[in-house]
Structure formats: C-alpha cells, structure tokens
Amino acid sequence: MCGTCGCGDPELVPVEVQERILSGNERTAKHNREHFEERGLLAINLMGSPGAGKTAVLEATARAARHRRFAAVAGDLETHRDAERLARAGIPSVPITTGQACHLDAELVHRALHDLPLADVDTLFIENVGNLVCPAVYDLGEAASVVALSVTEGEDKPLKYPVMFRKAELVLLTKIDLLPHLDVNMAALMDALERVMPEPQMILLSAKTGRGMAEWLAWLDQRRPANVRAACALEAGT
Amino acid sequence: MHEYSIIAALVDKVEAIARERKAVAVRRLLVRIGELSGVEPELLATAYTTFRVQTICEDAEMTILPVAARWMCSGCRRGIQRGEILRCAACGAPGKLAEGDEIILERVEMEVA
C-alpha cells in the first residue's frame, strides 16, 4: 500500500443488489407450489396462536368430509403430538419439529412432502407453528393462508398482529361454542379485520359442535377450482 | 424470533456476491425493511450484531431503511390512510399495499483488491 497517494489500496465498490433477502425461500416455495398445482392439489397454510384450535379444526374437518383425501404436515417446536392426533383422525400426517425455530419455511415443508402420499391427496393442510408473528413472513408454496383465531383471544388481535392477518385470505373464528360464556364484540372484531385485511372473510366455527363446518368445506371447494385451473395453465405452458 | 434466519439468509447472499466480485472485505450493507414485512428493524439489528461474527460481514456496518406502509385503492388508486378501513371510500374497491412489505438487500459496499 502506498502512503502517499493510496495507489494499490483496495477499492471500495458499491454494488446495487436490490434483491429480496428471502429469495432462497421464495424459490423453494415456488417449487412447492408447482408440485401442488401439477397435482391439482389445494395447499392451505393454517396459522394461528398456540391453542387457537388449529389441530381441532383439522380433526373436525376430517370427520365432516370423509370423502375428501386430506394430508397434513404439522409444525411444532417439540413433539409429534399434532401429527399423531391428525393421523388418528384419518389424515396422513408428517410432523416437522423445528427445534427453536418459530415458523415453518419452504424447505422444511418440501422435505416433509417426500414422506406423504401426495398422489392420493386432494387437500394438503400445512399446520404452521403456533405463533401470530413469524410464520407470516415465509411463503411455503400454499394456495391460500388461513388464520385460526379463537373467540377467547380478544377482538383486537388483528390490529395487534396486522402482518399475519394481511397475509390471510380467510379467518376461521374458532371455539364459537364458547360464545355464550364470553363477551365477544363481533362488530369490533369485524371492524378490526377490515382495517388489516383488504378483503376480510371470516367463518364462525366450532370443532366441537360442527357449526360452520359446511361453510368451511364449501370455502375449500370453491378455492379448489382456481387451483386446478392454474395447474392446467401450467401444464399448457401458458 | 425469525430475524435470526433472515440474517442468516442475508449473510449467505452477501457472501455469494462478495465471492462473485472477488471482494476482500465487505464494509457496508443497506437493507430496506417494510413496516408490514413482519421484520422488526431493532431485532434485525441485534440479530445482525450476533450473527455477523466470523462471517464476511464481520466488519460491515448495516444500515436499515425503514419503509412505512402505504395503502391505496386497487381500482382508482386513491390513497387509504393507515388505520382506516381498507376499502376505498370513493369507489368501494379493496385496498392494496403499495409499499411497506419489503425485506430487501439494497446495496453492498465492498473492497475489491
């Protein structure tokens, strides 16, 4: 290095990158999405707080629609309990234990897919790690994101966790069999959703009584054709 | 705290760019983080401080440019104020996020021998 004029010094070069930091995850998510669409399979990313009733909703869904061919991957920090519960309910399931990670990513889901009989499946539920924050950041390749929000969580949850609700296409308001015991202000909840979701949709559901299940199954079916259309377009190379 | 996995992805990306350009050191990173991206700038900065040790980013300062959420009508493009109902008061079309969900590596400043 030259002390006089700086010749031979390393040169400071600015590189304009302008790339999404999670582009690696997004590539894998796209790959997953192609897998799903090729098979005409509807993939749902089910998110929500721990204890919101995600697993119970899926158990009830299996009970209510025996003709459907469901499969699931279930993410938790520890234990295979949710996947075991789902398997008992008749949904072939693969557990993903994330250790310390607070969310699923596209790679974790992709690895789990290899252990599922996808050819025999029309709907794949990806039960995310119970958390209203981190899972919203990661695209998994799903056709739609659904948030389970239980009636005991409070009307203002959407305002407190806008990122997750913005990502969701549908909110499942769970445990509505508890409504007679609570003072839930439904108008306030809907108002909160309208301030974070551009097109809020909500289904009131009870996994216990089965109320709302028909509407939820209809929503899934109505979500399905678009997915199959996308698969056809993909095959046609358009 | 997913900020750690975001920093891991960021460092991987910077390492790839530095290798490609044959950089001897990385001096500065500029990232853009949207208010509705789900990434907390302060937590991201903390995660970076911990995670950059013994990586190419060890001596690189990271600057975070926060981007405020901006909603507009998906039909007539009229602005929708934050906290308002996300439906256009004029034409009734749903709102659309114009900016504020980015998690972007904007620029890297590196030393090239």
**A237 pLDDT higher than 80:** no
A12 touching chain B per CB within 8 A: yes
Topology classification of domain A23-226: Rossmann fold (3.40.50)
Place of tokens 């003072």: A183
Domain boundaries, chain A: 23-226
What are the chain A neighbours of B113 within 8 Å (beta carbons)? Answer: 10-11
Question: Are the beta carbons of A37 and A226 closer than 8 angstroms?
Answer: no
**pLDDT reported for residue A78:** 84
User: Which token pair is B91?
Assistant: 């034409």
Going by pLDDT thresholds of 50, 70 and 90, the confidence category of residue A98 is confident
| A162 part of contact set with chain B, CB < 8 Å | yes
Residue of A131, A11, A17, A144 whose CA lies nearest to A75: A131
The pLDDT tens digits of the residues spanning A124-153 come to 999 999 999 999 999 999 999 999 999 999
How many residues in total does chain B contain? 113
| Best CA proximity match to B37, nearest among A22, A5, A228 | A22
In angstroms, the separation between the Cα of residue B36 and the nearest Cα of chain A is 5
Tokens of B86: 């996300």
Binary contact (A163, B23; C-beta < 8 A) = no
Report residue A235's pLDDT band, with 50, 70 and 90 as the boundaries.
Answer: very low
The reported pLDDT for the residue numbered A234 is 53
Interface of A with B in 15-54 (CB under 8 A): 15-25
**What are the boundaries of each domain within chain B?**
3-68+99-112
Q: Considering only A37-41, A199-203, B1-5, which range has the smallest mean pLDDT?
A: B1-5
Tell me which DSSP letter residue B93 carries. P
Chain A neighbors of B39, CB-CB under 8 A: 137
User: Would the CB atoms of A16 and B107 count as touching at under 8 Å?
Assistant: yes
- Of B78, B70, B88, B86, the C-alpha closest to A196 is B86
Q: Could you tell me if B25 and A10 are in contact, meaning their C-beta atoms sit under 8 angstroms apart?
A: yes
Tokens encoding A76: 């938790």
Sign of torsion over alpha carbons A154, A159, A160, A166: positive
Span A60-70, average pLDDT: 94
Owner of token pair 């990586």: B55
Q: Do the chains contact at B13 and A137, CB–CB below 8 Å? A: no
Alpha-carbon distance A176 to A225, whole Å?
A: 29
Is residue A183 within 8 A of residue A215, CB to CB? The reply is no
Going by C-alpha positions, the residue among B74, B81, B67 that lies closest to residue B38 is: B67
Q: Mind telling me how many Å the CA of A223 is from chain B's nearest CA?
A: 19
Chain B partners within 8 Å of A25 (Cβ): 9
Global pTM reads 0.91
Chain B nearest CA to A20, separation (Å): 4
Q: What is the CA radius of gyration of chain B?
A: 18
* CATH code reported for the domain at B3-68+99-112: 3.30.2320.50
Q: Report how far residue B53's alpha carbon sits from residue B61's, in angstroms, rounded to the nearest whole number.
A: 12
Is there a contact between A20 and B83 if contact means CB atoms under 8 Å apart? Answer: no
| Å between B30 CA and nearest CA of chain A | 9
Its ipTM equals 0.94
* In chain A, % of residues over pLDDT 70: 90
Given a contact cutoff of 8 angstroms between Cβ atoms, the answer to whether A161 and A171 are in contact is no
Residue B53 burial (CB count, 10 A): 8
Spatial separation of the C-alpha atoms in residues B94 and A117, rounded to whole Å: 39
Cα–Cα distances in Å, from B17 out to A19, A79, A216, B105, B110? 11, 39, 46, 11, 10
